[in-house]
Structures are given as C-alpha cells and as structure tokens.
Amino acid sequence: MANNKTKGSKLKARDLERAILKELKQNDRKQYNPKQLIRKLKVKNSQDSVLAALEALAEKKLVRKNDDFKFQVAKNIQQQTSSEYTEGRVDTTRSGDAYIVTDGDDQDIFVPARRLANAQSGDLVKVRYWTPARRRKPEGEVAEVLERSVTHFVGTYKEYDKYAEIEVEQPGGNKMLVAVHRGENLGAQNKEKAVVRIDDWEPNRFGQLSGTITAVLGEEGTSEIEMQSILINNGFQITFSDEVIAESEALPSKISPQEINIRRDMRDVTTFTIDPLTAKDFDDALSIQHLENGQIEIGIHIADVSHYVLPGSALDKEAAERTTSVYLVDRVCPMLPERISNELCSLRPHEDKLTFSAVFSFDAKTYQIRKRWFGRTVTHSDRRFTYEDAQEVLDSGKGDFVEELQLMDKISKKLRKKRFKEGAIDFATNEVRFKLADDGTPLEVYIKDRIDTNMLIEDFMLLANKEVAGYIIKKEEKLKENIPFVYRVHDEPNLDKVTELASFAEALGYKMDLSTPRSIAKSYTALLSKAAEDPMVKMLSPIAIRTMAKAIYTTENIGHYGLGFENYSHFTSPIRRYADVLVHRILEKNLEKGSLYKANATKLEETCKHISAQERKATTAERESIKYKQTEFMLDNVGEEFDGIINGLADFGVFVELSANFVEGMISYDNMDEPYELGGGKLFIKGKKSGKKLKMGDGLRVRIEDVDLDRRRIDMSLVKVINVHGEDNQNAAEGKAGKVRSGRPARAKTQDKQEVAAVAGARKGGARGGRGKRK
C-alpha cells in the first residue's frame, strides 16, 4: 500500500490537492476550512495555498464549498475513499461473491461477483480496493488476473445447429460458457459431462470463453461423475501420466542389505500402527521399549517417501504440482500413485519398511523428555490397530500390547495437558461422516466420535512435528546461520476481530480476557467448550473461527498460535503432503554433526505458497463432496418433517441444521409463518406482524420442500417454532448489535467449519475419508 509522507512538509500544488481530497473522502460527513486542514494534514503550506487547492478541487466537482469557507467532499464521490492496488488470492463464497486474501494483511478485501472480471477461486489477482464511507472494511474490484489456479473444468456439453459449448456451473448459480469446436468433441453427446481446458479467458461477443474438450465423462447426474467433477473443477488431476506410473512401477520392492546397513535398525522394537478402519496408506507407526537406564523410549516412525521420490524425477514433479492428497467422502485422490502410497511406503504389518524417525526418551516417573534423536531407520510393524481396536484394549485392559498402549496413553495425556497449559486452543469440532452403500449412495450421516486413541496419535504426531522444527531452530542458533526450512505457521488473531467477538460473547453472558495472546487463547477454548452444550452460544463458533488467521506453509517462522508452539513444521505425513517430503529432505541433510545444508530460500518460499494454495483448493473440494452427499442423502425425504436448529441468518432466509443427521438446508422468508426482517448485526430476525424474534440456536420443526442435487441445495419450510433460547440474553445482544454490523454477505458457513481444520491442524488418518483434519 502506498504511503505518501506528506506531514510536516510544504507540498506542491498537485500533491496538496491529492492530500486534501484524501482527507475529505475519509471524513466525508465533515467540513473543514483551510486552517483546520493545515492542522489536520500537518503541512507547512499557507492558508491561501490551501484555499486555492480547495477552489481547484471545487471546479473539478470533487469537493463542494459550504458557508464560512468550509469545504466537504462532493456528494457524487462521497461513497468512496481513495483506492490502492494489491495482490491476493480469490476466495469465492457460495453466493458467487469473493474475498481477496492478501499476504500480511488481516483484512480480506470483499469483491462482489460482478467485479471479479472472470477470476476464479484460487486465482492470484491484482485488485483495486478502497474503504467505502461509513464502513471499516475494504471493498474492491479485480483489475487483472495474474495467475490461474484452475484451467480445466467439468461442464455440460451442449450442441446447437451452428455451434457447441460447455456450460460450467459456478457459485451463486452463475454459469461459465465455453465455446468448443463441434468437430473436436471427442464423441461427446448432447448433455453429457465433459472436461474442457480454457484456452482464452477473454469473452467473445456472445459472452463465451474459448476452450478445448480434453475428456468425456458420460451422462450427468451420477455420483461418480459428480465426485470427479469436484476434483477437476478444483484443479486436481484424477489420473497419473504413463511416465509417472511407469516410474513408480520400476521401483524395487525389496530393501537391499546395503540400505539396512546405513540405517538404524529398529525391527526388533515393539512397533504398531493405529489408523482408521478404511485406511490403506499407513504413513506412521509408534514403537516403545524400556531402556537399561530406566527411561522409556518412544519412536515416531514415518514412511520414508523421500527415499523413493527423488528430486527432479517424474514422481517428484507430479507430487510437487499436486502437493496434497484430496479426501472426498467416498474416495481419495492421492498425491502419489498407489504403488508408493499403499504398497512401498505403507507401514503394513509384518513387513520391513524404510522409515524416517523421531525417537524420544522419557523419564519413567515425570514423563519429561530426556533425549531426542532424528534419523533414517528400518522398522517392522507387529500389529495393525484400528482406532476402535486400540480403544477396546485401553477400555478393557486386555488384548495385544495392552501395557504398551496404556503407557503411551499416559504419556500422551501428559503432553496434551502441557500443550493446553502453554496456550493451545482446543478446536475440537464435529466431523460429519457417512455410511455408504457399495454404489456410493449415502445410507447414514453421523458425527465421528473422538476417542482417546485419536488423541493419542495426534499428541505424538504433534510432538514429532514440533521437535523437528525445534531441531532446525537450535542448529541455526548454534551455527549462527539461517537454514531455509518449511514451517507450518499460524498467526495471532486480529485484535479488532477478537474485540468484535468479545462483544457478542459478553452480550450472551460470557466474558473473554483479551489482555494477552495467551489469555485470548484460553478464552477461545472456554468459549468453544460452552458452545458445544449451549445452542445460544453455538452461534459464536463461526464468528470465533473467522477471527482466526489461516495456518499456512512458509519459510518465515512466526510460530503456531493455535497450537501454542514457537516452532512447528509438518514431518509426519509425506505420503499425502509434499511439505513433509521437503522437510525430510532438508532435515536429513542437516543431521550430521558439522553439516550445513541451505536450500534456495526464494524458491522454497514460492513452493510453500503453492502448497498453501493447493491446500485451500483441497479444502474446498472436500467441503463440496460433503455437501453433495448430504443433499443426496435427503433426496427421498421431500415432504417429511424434521427437528433442527437455526445455525445461520441471511438477507434471504434462515439456515437450519437438522438434529437427526446434521444436514443443512434453508428456509426462505417466503416459506416462514409470516414476513420477517433481519435484525441489527444479523443476530436475529423479527416478524413484521407479531414482532416475534428468532435467533441462532433456536429450535424449529421444518418440512423438506425440495432437494436440488445439481445445485446441492435443500429448501425447507417452517412448520413451527419448538423452543427459543436466552430471551434475557437476547435483549442484551440487540443492544450490542450495532457495534458489530458489517453490512456485507457472510462467508459460507461450511467454509467456517473448514477454517477450523486449517487452524487446528489435521488429525491423523488414512484413505477413503478416513483422514481427519490438518494440523
């Protein structure tokens, strides 16, 4: 952002006019005389020169002259302040509008759909922005698309007498039309789904872009095609090239004696994996043994993907482009071919495997860490547990490795308690899961239980990630050298946003301590724990999440606020995250005593930005697949009634989450029992006839009126109000509403839930929907 240093100097006539106009725009309701403007601007110009500048602006109809030589910004430009340019990534909402997310700026820039200039979600754009009068938050328009995030889209092929086109659905019900050659349609039939590559983003006189069909998927409407469409439309390839497959198939399946000799052999140490039931890519294992000095040694063993995926290889280039596996409800789109992810690198039981390990020695009484070791190993898993299997052993006190599991559980709880004491935020939220038929049809929607074994694995993965980053930091301090590295960072929340959240919370009877970053973190945890049991407070969860920064990858270590760690990286999932592959490579080259390996910092930072961008796209795809399956689940329920709670309010209706299956739908105001209007701060709606107020957390009985699978939308109508919570608190909330009014559309609620994942980080998991959230 430009910052003209005008204060304390005598400005030239042109610069003086600009400074005066900027000041008047920022205070559009006020009027000033020349003397007041000199004091306001702190310039050394005379009153006569300031008056002359004002007269010149008045002639240009930019300001208007009032009585007593006082001037005010002209009415025709009163709604804008001066604009600036910046760059950022497009983050599209379900309405079709977007926010531009910029580096190093806490406030995203709102851009309505009409000002996006064909920019798509994830695109890097140059945006012109300003702060509208009487508002605090910036708005803007896309001036130029600098980098396309996605170039291939799935749409419906439509053939006419003289032309053919692909019709691609866009957020908010908009359509992107792409002209294609009928003679190069690869055999596509009318109304079939096809993949189109955009060749020219400049619309022709009919409003069409220009493109080429690259694949034909078949008849629209099947779950298989819809899942493929979600992946492709978010920029992910659903197949691997022949070159990549051939390279993976050529890798040796046997581990050579020479390779074992240069590694720490830990095959005789008790080792096992704990993963979801449907997992196939077991990328981590735990080992435990009692040492002769009385200490307890726990090893965190990670699949050594970097041994097989070498820099510059076809496999490496493919992984570097994808950067992440994408987990939809019914499938996984892997970062690496199954030959690697499910065979060579998967830590399957009763097989020798190459691993990269973080090994810790704990005091047997205090469970304090006494020694750390990092390095390449060879391991052998004795048992494959599911989370439920391991939990049964803990609960019953019987079964395989019961003593080992019990001891690990005690140590993990000690680590967890320490983490929360030091400022970690507990972002545990509901994770929607599906029971599917063989053909992918959803049979049941449920919330995943978070059991002790989930947290046990999470605690040890967090420990490894934290300690690996700490090792690099300590080496930097010892050698007094900067070592470019891949950190997973999470910035402190924006204080203005936190203050806004605190106003909501206080109105509902909950006091937040904003005195220090650590006290804010504790306040978040306390508030979110109450939200789980109080429907009225539950309304704060989306607001609380929006106040948080997003976790990203970068070479600049600023710590991880949400986890309460000064140093944090990603080391534990190289099968599904390219960031972890990079961490393994850099760490390995810096392990030997006296060694110093420095990657190209500029190139590494660019790679980090690409990985973060891909992560956002994967998040969007995962969210879209959940919404599709939820909508599909409700297809046979039109006309039926359900209980639910209000979990969102908008200008056009009320969002309701059904209590029985956690599916979200919308009641438009036309389908309510009377006309309603949205109250101040979007805290409640008020009946125009009765004055009745409904708010977040209130219970409703609703009827399913329509289920539109193409638009992934469920329309409901109000049957009756079941219960209204917190009448006393509501009056207080209304009094505070004016302080937090934003006046612009809220982001999709489903996105809010996913932002928790970006902050709190992924809980560990496997394939086909078995993976949890990112850490």
Predicted pLDDT of residue 768: 31
Entry field: residues in the chain:
775
| DSSP one-letter code for 566 | S
Q: 453-475 pLDDT, tens per residue?
A: 999 999 999 999 999 999 999 99
- Kindly report the number of other CB atoms within 10 A of residue 551's CB atom: 24
301 and 377 Cβ atoms separated by less than 8 Å: yes
Predicted pLDDT of residue 414: 97
In this structure, which amino acid lies at residue 523? Answer: S
Alpha-carbon gap, residue 57 to 73, rounded angstroms: 9
Contacts of 274 (CB under 8 A, 6+ apart): 286, 385, 386, 387, 390, 453, 456, 457
Q: 276: helix, coil or strand?
A: coil
For the four alpha carbons of 393, 396, 397 and 399, in that order, the dihedral sign comes to: negative
Predicted pLDDT of residue 569: 98
Q: 41-87 pLDDT, tens per residue?
A: 888 888 888 998 998 888 878 888 887 788 888 766 555 545 688 99
Pairing verdict, β 653-658 and 641-649: antiparallel
Predicted pLDDT of residue 751: 33
168 and 154 Cβ atoms separated by less than 8 Å: yes
Residue 263 is inside which H or E element, if any?
none
Angle 47-59/34-41 helices, nearest 10 degrees?
100
Query: In terms of C-beta density within 10 A (0-12 exposed, 13-18 middle, 19 or more buried), how is residue 41 classed?
Result: buried
CA distances to 273, 281, 451, 694 from 386, in Å: 8, 13, 12, 44
Closest to 582 measured CA to CA, from 698, 469, 705: 469
In this structure, which amino acid lies at residue 156? Answer: T
Predicted pLDDT of residue 536: 65
Alpha-carbon gap, residue 465 to 763, rounded angstroms: 13
97 and 110 Cβ atoms separated by less than 8 Å: yes
Dig out the tokens for 557 from the structure: 């270590």
Angle 452-479/387-396 helices, nearest 10 degrees?
110
Contacts of 572 (CB under 8 A, 6+ apart): 283, 284, 300, 302, 461, 464, 465, 580, 764
Dig out the tokens for 166 from the structure: 């692909």
Alpha-carbon gap, residue 129 to 757, rounded angstroms: 29
All structural domains of the chain, each given as residue ranges with its CATH number in brackets, are: 13-77 (1.10.10.10), 84-147 (2.40.50.140), 152-233 (2.40.50.700), 245-453 (no CATH), 455-615 (no CATH), 651-745 (2.40.50.140)
Stretches in the chain below the pLDDT threshold 70: 1-8, 28-29, 75-83, 104-106, 133-136, 172, 428, 531-532, 535-539, 542, 680-683, 724-775
Q: 45: helix, coil or strand?
A: coil
Predicted pLDDT of residue 679: 78
Alpha-carbon gap, residue 193 to 189, rounded angstroms: 9
Count CA atoms closer than 13 A to 108's CA, side-chain side: 23
pTM exceeds 0.85? no
| DSSP one-letter code for 454 | H
